[in-house]
Amino acid sequence: MGEVLPLPSVGDLFADIRGDDRTMRVSWHPERGAVVLSLWAGAVCRGSFRMSTEDVPRRLSLLADIAEAVPPAPQPGDPVAPSTGTRATDVTVGTPSEVEQTGDLPGAAHRSLRPIVPVPRVA
């Protein structure tokens, strides 16, 4: 994949809900002005995305909107709906809110062919 660095002092590790030792690492690299999101399968990095720190507030806003829409996690002792087996807190009531179209994304996507560099394998 490229240069592998130790996890910086500002970062976190998230487990994939599918299991199988899949994780996502989020790390901040102030010297590069980037936040790196990398996807791991065990000890192998399968892909990464370098996000400009200028885009972080927009991403946080999106995640905050999602967090507001997520129903609270069921707690032990919550009543269970007999017909479905789901907890009462799993059911959402009401109509979905309208999706706001924000327009075109700024900037242009740039694609270029990159040389294939062999990655050393560690046993």
pLDDT score of 11: 86
What pLDDT does residue 91 have?
A: 47
Cα 121 to Cα 1, 43, 44: the distances in Å are 11, 11, 10
Kindly state the percentage of the chain with pLDDT values over 70: 57
- What's the token pair of residue 116? 């294939």
**pLDDT, average across residues 23-51:** 93
Position 41 pLDDT exceeds 90: yes
- The model's pLDDT over 65-111, given as tens digits with 9 standing for 90+, comes to 998 888 887 878 777 655 455 554 444 545 555 656 565 655 555 55
Closest residue by Cα to residue 43 from 22, 14, 12:
22
Cα-based distances in Å from 58 to 6, 52, 63, 99: 27, 11, 9, 17
pLDDT tier, 33 (very low <50, low <70, confident <90, very high otherwise): very high
The pLDDT value given to residue 95:
53
